[in-house]
Amino acid sequence: MGTWHMAENPALRDSEIAAIREGLDMGLTLIDTAELYADGATETLVGEAIRGVDRDGLFIVSKVMPSHAGRSHMRKSCEASLKRLGVDHLDLYLLHWPGSVPLAETVACMESLRADGLIRQWGVSNFDVDDMEQLWRVPGGDACVANQVLYHLESRGVELALKPWMDAHNVAMMAYCPLAQGGRLAYGLMNDDTLGEIARRHHATPAQILLAWVMRDGRTVAIPKAGTPEHMRLNVEAAGIELTPPDLAALDRRFPAPSVKPPLDWL
């Protein structure tokens, strides 16, 4: 469950909390958030939604801003996130995007947090191949377990080099904006005829097909946001859609991956 843009409108708060709880009731366990989202208010909202839920059954992800990813601030950021969430540890802590703090310093801080039990694992977000290779040259950098990137049917650049690199190095890919809410190429996708025809064949919505496509390899973690319980149910049901080889071929023809690696698409 993604939470970007949640807690920005007080009028939607009850619905957003209900959506997260619906996802939990339907078996979802991973919740992704960040200290940046709504200046911390999103983490507070998530904390309210998970209050009373068995912590051992959750996988909570948060992200630290690059400006906070050094010795002077990372521990404070992590502790503040934990307080807002109402938990004693994060399952995964991500560097939100590459910044000016040396990676060696960030890695050392991540490992210190892990040694002290504040986080279980750490990773990065919005890192391209060059960034990952630089991280791997840092002592301890190969402890990174995940990279969260923008990925959807109209933004497939990560398939050319980044995803193969991550697969080879056992780094999980988390796909944000899997419903094509962002990126340079996300224009009019929901109204596309090919997508609509495949959705009709599966008695699904176009958004559900987008989610099923992102998750088609069985390894990519999609983190769509749902602001209502109804939307959450549709997202969860998308996991049961199995796209056929003809479906995938049609989508490849309509939305081919680029032939030359583009710059990393991100927000």
Residue 250's Cβ-side half-sphere holds a number of Cα atoms within 13 Å equal to: 15
- For residues 44 and 84, is the Cβ–Cβ distance under 8 A? yes
- For residues 216 and 249, is the Cβ–Cβ distance under 8 A? no
Single out the catalytic residue among 37, 93, 151, 176. Answer: 37
Pair of tokens at residue 179: 């419903």
Residue 91's Cβ-side half-sphere holds a number of Cα atoms within 13 Å equal to: 13
- For residues 143 and 107, is the Cβ–Cβ distance under 8 A? yes
Q: What is the DSSP letter of 155?
A: B
Pair of tokens at residue 181: 């809410």
Residue 37 annotated among the catalytic residues of the structure: yes
Catalytic positions are 37
